[in-house]
Chains A and B, each alone.
Chain A
Amino acid sequence: MSKYKANIEITLRKSILDVQGKTVEKALHSIGYENISEVRIGKFISLEIESDNQDFALEKVDNACKDLLANPIIEDYKISLEIINQ
């Protein structure tokens, strides 16, 4: 068994208006950061998982995202996985 660390980034799907992102973008503009655009706000989840190999670990985390961590109707997610110890 190896231990892996997964970092998961969850954002609202592009087609859905991210009102928080828009508001923060406006705030940035108002304090002088006019060149900033496309601000999106999401969630960051990190977790550790034990697994025989990286593929299984990734599959498990992907399932966890589909089952609970993200709602695929409204959110996209990205997983990055690294090994902590063998």
Chain B
Amino acid sequence: MKFGVVVFPGSNCDHDAYYSIKHNIGCSVEFLWHKDASIPNDIECILLPGGFSYGDYLRCGAIARFSPIMKEVINFANKGKFIIGICNGFQILTEAKLLPGALVRNENLHFICKDVYLKVINKNTPFSNKIDKDVIKIPIAHGEGRYIADNETLNQLVENNQIVFKYSDELGNINNNINPNGSLLNIAGIINKNRNVLGMMPHPERYSEQLLGGNDGVSIFNSILNFL
């Protein structure tokens, strides 16, 4: 199976994602330039990496969403192929309307860079079926990760089991005190209705080998391998 990592001007987690997929998962992977007007046929999963695409000008992800490659990424999603958006990638996916809601300034206005615990809410997805633990530890690094959506959207996310990860404590308790950024319902990651697009603020590629401090992130990528 082959992954593609999109490189936007200002992406800064693209190489980490590439490394993680190539060396920690052992899959082939290639970079896709944001100006590319096509996606190679052999790619089965696209990763939109973290960073500050286009300097986060206007809104995070707002300009990247109109990069030439995004037209193809949207087609790719509509064909049912797999997409993971991490951090800035998640923001781009909401701007592109591939995922509902939006990500706004953290409640405390701080850029937060720390390890967080995530309760795995739904293990029955292409992105979470190989996660053994109920709670995983993954770092976040964002200033604008507060997930916002209207009540109707939130209800749909809950009803359709589209919430995959919620910020929790080490034991999996979910409450306001451990919510790092003020996200509604402690949402850290969601999938679309068709279950082929995942967006998450935490960075699994940063915890993909023990040397980095943890390897819980690997199970997310391995889930896709297992699913296909």
Contact = CB atoms under 8 A, between A and B. Distances in A.
Interface of A: 12, 15-17, 19-20, 23, 43, 68-69, 71, 73-74
B214 interface: no
Interface of B: 58-59, 62-63, 66, 94-95, 101-102, 104-109, 148-150, 182
- Majority secondary structure, B binding face: loop
Given A68-B58, A68-B62, A74-B148, A23 B102 contact: no
Contacts of A71: 59, 62, 95, 102
Contacts, number: 34
B216 to A, nearest CB: 30
A68 B102 contact: no
Given A43-B58, A68-B58, A74-B104, 17 more contacts: A16-B104, A16-B148, A17-B107, A19-B105, A19-B107, A19-B108, A19-B109, A19-B182, A20-B109, A23-B109, A69-B58, A71-B59, A71-B95, A71-B102, A73-B101, A73-B102, A73-B149
A19 B105 CA distance: 7
B109 A12 contact: no
B105 A20 contact: yes
A50 B149 CA distance: 36
A69 B94 CA distance: 15
Contacts of B109: 19-20, 23
B185 to A, nearest CB: 15
A31 to B, nearest CB: 19
A67 to B, nearest CB: 9
